Structure 1
Amino acid sequence: MTSHTASRGTITVTGLEEFLREPPAGFSVQEAPGAGHRVRSDPEKSLVLIDDFRSCRGRVVFDNSPGRKVKVHNLWQYTSMRKSLLSKRIYLLMSACRGNLSAGNRKAAAGATALERYVVSIDGGDPLIRWQMERGLDWTISSVAGESYRVDIDLTEALESWAAENLEGEPVWSDASFTLKYYSDALFDFPHWFGFSRRHFKVRR
């Protein structure tokens, strides 16, 4: 699979090596020989949700990134994160893998052979993307009011649609989601403890 950048509307997909070699506008990459890369971005325009990881060139660290699993502990933090999700470009690291789609189990991507890693961005301020995320977040809040909760935002279908137009074959996408975790100060938050307050919604393009 060839590393490349392709953009279609609200989504941009860039091969990891190309992203580090020629970062997009608003990003800079500092390389320390033998130590890896440090990636900086403008937090006013970009919301980077990428955990530190190791590549063939060493450790890659994204400054100002809370990681793929974002934790908020009060209404102010949630409101701030929600505003970012609905207005900025969101950046994630995903892998295109070779797997058995005929089995119908896309969750098995974690055990598939990785073909290429991509930095994927979506425009949270795009009207369609914004509407989908607003609806999903509002549904989560209304469902678990006053409780801790976890909501997974899944971009798999958006990536599959992009891949069908830009890649040969039909890869399985791994890590094509991110998570927002809210922790309330409730003393006995039984629904959260037993996993009943976990939600999931999909974003399509």
Structure 2
Amino acid sequence: MKNSSGRMTVTELGEFLRNPPQGFSVKALSSGYRVCSDDERNLVLIDNFQSCKGDIVLQKSLGREVKVHNLRDYTNLRKSLLSKRIYLLASVCEEKLSESRKKAAGDVRGLREYVVSVDGGDPLIGWQMEKGLDWSISSVAGESYRLDIDLTEALESFAPRSAAAEDRNTVKPVWRDASFTLKYYSDALFDFPHWFGFSKRTFKLKLT
């Protein structure tokens, strides 16, 4: 299953491995798959992981949590975020709703993995990304900080609907792990706000 727009694509993991997008190559191994990407056009933020298809090893991936320690590294990462196609791994599950439909009843089924990409060079995505990065820097005043970029809201319109039509009023697709993290470590000697967890920031990307 694959859903796409100019700004975002959502591809089921199996489909991604069978038919990788432009700039990717996939090699089948006895233990799973090795995925290589063109880092001139793609920014891959996916950790190596195990799935029902075996071990998935991603070469040239920075991982879901990207750590930078100086202004040069931050500037290079920022440039990539604002110009490349960003890839991450997210999961979706279907939770049965309670009769009141006000909260989930806790019955989860159909957990699946999807490769999600957003175009950092798109004017709307780039504007949001730049605004969020600038806000984070200005709010921590040179301290170390953690910034989570959350795509959950943007993914809501792409939620897979594998349930039968008659069940769709009682099943709610829920995205998990639809985010990636920037960790900036300053050279401040006494970085108390970071030590005590006060320098955590989050902003959400939207498609409209």
TM-score by length of structure 2 reads: 0.88
Give the alignment partner of residue 66 of structure 1, picking from 52, 62, 73.
62
Give the residue type in structure 1 aligned to 2:5.
R
Distance 1:200 1:104, change over 3 A: farther
Percent of counterpart pairs with the same letter? 66
Runs of 4+ aligned structure 1 residues displaced above 6 Å come to none
Alignment partners' CA distance in 1, 2:75 and 2:84: 14
Alignment partners' CA distance in 2, 1:112 and 1:157: 20
Query: How many equivalent pairs are there?
Result: 195
Alignment partners' CA distance in 1, 2:136 and 2:66: 15
Alignment partners' CA distance in 1, 2:183 and 2:103: 28
Alignment partners' CA distance in 2, 1:202 and 1:103: 24
Q: Contact 1:73–1:182 (CA<8 Å) still a contact in 2?
A: yes
Give the residue type in structure 2 aligned to 1:133.
M
Distance 1:62 1:9, change over 3 A: same
The alignment's C-alpha RMSD in Å is: 1.9
Give the alignment partner of residue 196 of structure 2, picking from 186, 194, 202.
194
Helix, strand or coil for the counterpart of 1:99? strand
More helix by share: 1
Alignment partners' CA distance in 2, 1:152 and 1:112: 26
Alignment partners' CA distance in 1, 2:55 and 2:180: 21
State the partner residue of 1:160.
Answer: 156
Helix, strand or coil for the counterpart of 2:142? coil
Alignment partners' CA distance in 2, 1:44 and 1:10: 18
More strand by share: 2
Alignment of 1:104-183 (within 5 A): 112-163=108-159, 167=161, 169=168, 170-183=172-185
TM-score by length of structure 1 reads: 0.89
Give the residue type in structure 1 aligned to 2:133.
L
Which structure 1 residue ranges, 5 or more long, are not aligned? none
Q: Contact 1:95–1:114 (CA<8 Å) still a contact in 2?
A: no
Alignment partners' CA distance in 1, 2:6 and 2:177: 21
Q: Which structure's CA Rg is the greater one?
A: 2
Which structure 2 residue ranges, 5 or more long, are not aligned? 163-167
